[in-house]
Amino acid sequence: MHRGSCLCGAITYTIHGELGPLAICHCSKCRKATGSAFLAAVQVDPDEFVLDDPQHYLKSFESSQGVFRTFCGNCGSPLFSRRPGPPEVLRLRVGTLDTKLSQTPELHIFCADKAEWYEPDDTAPRFPQGPPP
């Protein structure tokens, strides 16, 4: 089981299942959404994801057609993105985990858009666009 929260702690979540592979996305939208060189995310089963938002701070923004980036409206922490589906796809921002993450990056995607001032130093495969089918 994994637990996480936003920066201010108003929104918490629990994941009762396994985490998918750790992917590092270098696309310009992910860089803007995080304010950093990349976004680190894992896919989680929406049926095993339990969100607690008692103050109703959860907000979302449709950053591209069918992709909703979800964040805390109080502190601004990016929490996950969601594609309604079917099937629904939920990609959790691993920086919001409060439990330890033992995974290392399994792939880098959209490397053609990578920030010119950052060079990954791991051995995970790199793809110029999205992940392979």
pLDDT in tens, the chain (133 residues): 999 999 999 999 999 999 999 999 999 999 999 999 999 999 999 999 999 999 999 999 999 999 999 999 999 999 999 999 889 999 999 999 999 999 999 999 999 999 999 999 999 999 999 887 7
Which pLDDT belongs to residue 100? 95
Identify the pLDDT of residue 95: 97
Closest CA to 35 of 124, 115, 119, 116: 115
The highest-level CATH class for domain 2-113 is: mainly beta
Confidence (pLDDT) at 131: 86
Residue pair 115/31 in contact (Cβ under 8 Å)? The answer is: yes
Find, among 100, 97, 90, 9, the residue nearest to 49 by Cα.
90
Which pLDDT belongs to residue 112?
A: 96
The token pair at 53 is 């938002």
